[in-house]
Structure 1
Amino acid sequence: MRIVEAIGIGVLILLAALALLFLRRMVITRRGGTIELGVRLSTMVPGRGWSAGLARFAGDDLRWYRIFSFWPGPRRVLSRRGLAVDRRRAPDAAERLVLPPDWVIVRCVTRRSPVEIAMAERALTGFLSWVEAAPPGESTPDTRPYRYRAG
């Protein structure tokens, strides 16, 4: 009887965890302006280090939330004011195993460090428009995405 109770409690905990993840995702996406976005958290091993998540545009910030996390806040925040798009590329062989087939990788330079993000081709247009849409007088030449080049 104890084994059945332990299995029941384990299943209940698992279902509660899944419900919490689903509820968190609903809260993040309820206001709209969200896209699926992968961020490369580690560059130690070529082609590895990608983490799936959701990103929400909030004014001058792009807030990225990991999909499989219970933390309510964003894991990473990219400010449009300090962001420049450096280049875009197709995923290499190892990255094609973890990223959807229609995604592209964009390397961005921030004031702190470079960051690679992956998104669907159709989301890239909106992302580039958001980066370039800084309010008048808010951007400086070193933060504008003038260096963008395909390839």
Structure 2
Amino acid sequence: MQILEWFGIVVAALAGLLLFLFLRRRVLMRSGGTITLQVRVTTVVPGRGWSAGLGVFHGDELRFYRMFSFSPRPKRVLTRGGLAVDCRRAPEGPERMTMPGDWVVLRCTSFQAPVEIAMAAGTVTGFLSWLEAGPPGPPGSVTPRPAIRPTPLDS
């Protein structure tokens, strides 16, 4: 009888963990501005080291949350002001086995280190638009516009 009780406890714990992962993903997607992408977290083995997750656009940041993680914090935060796309390519070698056929790999440079991001071809256009939508010049270089004061009307 104890074996069945332990088996029931293990099944209930696994179901609870899966429910938590599902709810975490729903909470992240609720704010809008989310995309499915993969980020290369290690380059030790060529073509390997990709981590699937959600990218959440939050102001001038793209926050990457791993798909199967319990952490409430993003794994990586990419700032729009310090991010530039170096090249764009199709998945090659072992990457073709882990990514859908219409995905594109973007090699980017950032303030921290070079980063590779993979996403659907349709998502790349939106990502590049977000990246280019920032104000020109270094971050914080935009000066506020002077207030327009109404002129009194002549009667």
Gaps of at least 5 residues in structure 1 are: 141-151
Gaps of at least 5 residues in structure 2 are: 141-155
Hey, what does 1:107 align to over in structure 2? 107
**Following the alignment from structure 2 to structure 1, what is the Cα–Cα distance between the partners of residues 58 and 7?**
42
**Following the alignment from structure 2 to structure 1, what is the Cα–Cα distance between the partners of residues 34 and 9?**
35
| Alignment TM-score, normalising by the size of structure 2 | 0.87
* Matched position secondary structure for 2:85: strand
Hey, what does 2:146 align to over in structure 1? none
**Following the alignment from structure 2 to structure 1, what is the Cα–Cα distance between the partners of residues 64 and 10?**
30
**Following the alignment from structure 2 to structure 1, what is the Cα–Cα distance between the partners of residues 88 and 46?**
17
Hey, what does 1:44 align to over in structure 2? 44
**1:80-111, Cα deviation, whole Å (9 max, x unpaired):** 01001000000002101111111110000001
Letter in 2 for 1:25: R
Please state how far the C-alpha of 1:135 moved relative to its aligned partner. Answer: 2.0
1:59 aligns with 2:56: no
Hey, what does 2:11 align to over in structure 1? 11
* Matched position secondary structure for 1:47: coil
* Matched position secondary structure for 2:69: coil
Letter in 1 for 2:51: S
Aligned length: 140
**Following the alignment from structure 1 to structure 2, what is the Cα–Cα distance between the partners of residues 27 and 97?**
30
**1:15-50, Cα deviation, whole Å (9 max, x unpaired):** 000000001001100011000010000001000000
Hey, what does 1:132 align to over in structure 2? 132
Please state how far the C-alpha of 1:73 moved relative to its aligned partner. Answer: 1.1
The runs of at least 4 aligned residues of structure 1 exceeding 4 Å deviation read 136-140
| Paired residues for 1:62-73 under 5 Å | 62-73=62-73
Hey, what does 2:81 align to over in structure 1? 81
Please tell me whether Structure 1 or Structure 2 has the larger radius of gyration of its CA atoms: 2
**1:124-150, Cα deviation, whole Å (9 max, x unpaired):** 00000111111244459xxxxxxxxxx
**Following the alignment from structure 1 to structure 2, what is the Cα–Cα distance between the partners of residues 39 and 45?**
15
**Following the alignment from structure 1 to structure 2, what is the Cα–Cα distance between the partners of residues 41 and 31?**
25
Hey, what does 2:92 align to over in structure 1? 92
**Following the alignment from structure 1 to structure 2, what is the Cα–Cα distance between the partners of residues 136 and 85?**
16
Letter in 2 for 1:121: A
Identity of aligned residues (%): 60
RMSD: 1.3
Hey, what does 1:31 align to over in structure 2? 31
